[in-house]
Structure 1
């Protein structure tokens, strides 16, 4: 009996150690950034395509004030309220002290400078497909924006969801870098895929989630319940969006639909970002969306 209990104890310890290893925060190798030269113009384009200001500007900001990345916006979820932090160039309460590697770890691995897991309210599951060159350029552009001395507020998340170590297990289950839509895509469609699946993180709103908050990749872009509880976010697959590529590109530029309606709700800020892209980029997004197949398991329930 004593030997059996010892065996069980050893197994428990080994399983625990394995769990600690498997759920540890991941980091990028510094060598992956060596030799990369930041391009400020590209960094600005990435900033808008990735919607940085839409989350990290202060609530109610408009116009140039959206470049004041003081944070403070609340995002209510089933797991608690997440509050966007200050990512301005302030050296004390912002991210001025961050290196390009720190930013790469945050965006691509969801890991903070102190080795902590970030909550996936920060859409690193999508940003994981960003190129290292774009991260370096974004880092340089963020450094040109104004410093704002506003303290970041703590998230309002209760136990057990506030145990950050547990997020390592969540990442093992639901963080799957790699493209969802594959196959014989054109160069234009691949450009659109990068803008939609990585930078634009469109799936974070337009794809349903399971009970643990993971994206249901088999229902990619088929629509999802609105987190506000009001209405539904529409699907964007080829089986649901019957607009032409030109219609989609125009909507992303002006916010007007083919029926002369206009974007509303959170899409207003999305259009503010996509309107800053080039015509070529908006057409690439449209070409990608027309290539997104209907879900293999059926469209999400309406």
Structure 2
């Protein structure tokens, strides 16, 4: 018994020594030693965290104050923002509205009791585009900067419209009044009135069934440097119901009818300053002696006077026709 007890004690000693050696090799602490671990933030880390929380709180307060200020200034409400109201039909603006960038809308309409104004310090342009974004029509009000410098209330310089076809309709939109395209300009109104002091200037031909002046004004057709031609497929009628009719020309005045006659219907027809077909040294002396003349026409169409006698003297005094 004593020998076995001695062997057990020895084996226990050996086991304890092996455990101590193994724990030392693994750098393990003994169960009896007291280890202290610090948990939390201390020093500059703690001060930095508190400063960050304080800065976040200040930012939230400033952000909340700015939000409240913006809501008060812009007058936000359930219906909209200030003068801007959101309705089922669209957007409604009250008062003067200013846009800094292009505005894309389907329809712009004013109130029934007010007008609609478009104002800009520069040009005002309205564009119409198709589904592919291509420009199909453009209306531009060109602003003149030179006129604005001379007068603050100066109006626009020009209004330009770029489109394939320009139409002007009546108030109800059913009747077409004016049409313009690349080929022609058509006016379907009953009367076209020009009130300018200088009248109207046409660079090319004008086709119209009637040219008439006002009741208290004169009608004047003139071409200062070129030929004035009036023609019609069936006939041309020139009449002055309550006044004289005057036709003057610097060179030749030609009245021509291809298949009809030329009718001069008046109580008195005066042809002044016609040449006298007579061989005299002094035509004035002959005109004083002769009181009655007859009107003669040359084959070329030239008209002259011949002294009236018992028979016609046109053939005798045909020197005018020979010289013409």
Give the alignment's TM-score, normalised by structure 2. Answer: 0.16
Question: Whose helix fraction is larger, Structure 1's or Structure 2's?
Answer: 1
Q: Which of structures 1 and 2 has the bigger CA Rg?
A: 2
Q: Return the structure number with greater strand share.
A: 2
TM-score (norm. length: structure 1): 0.16
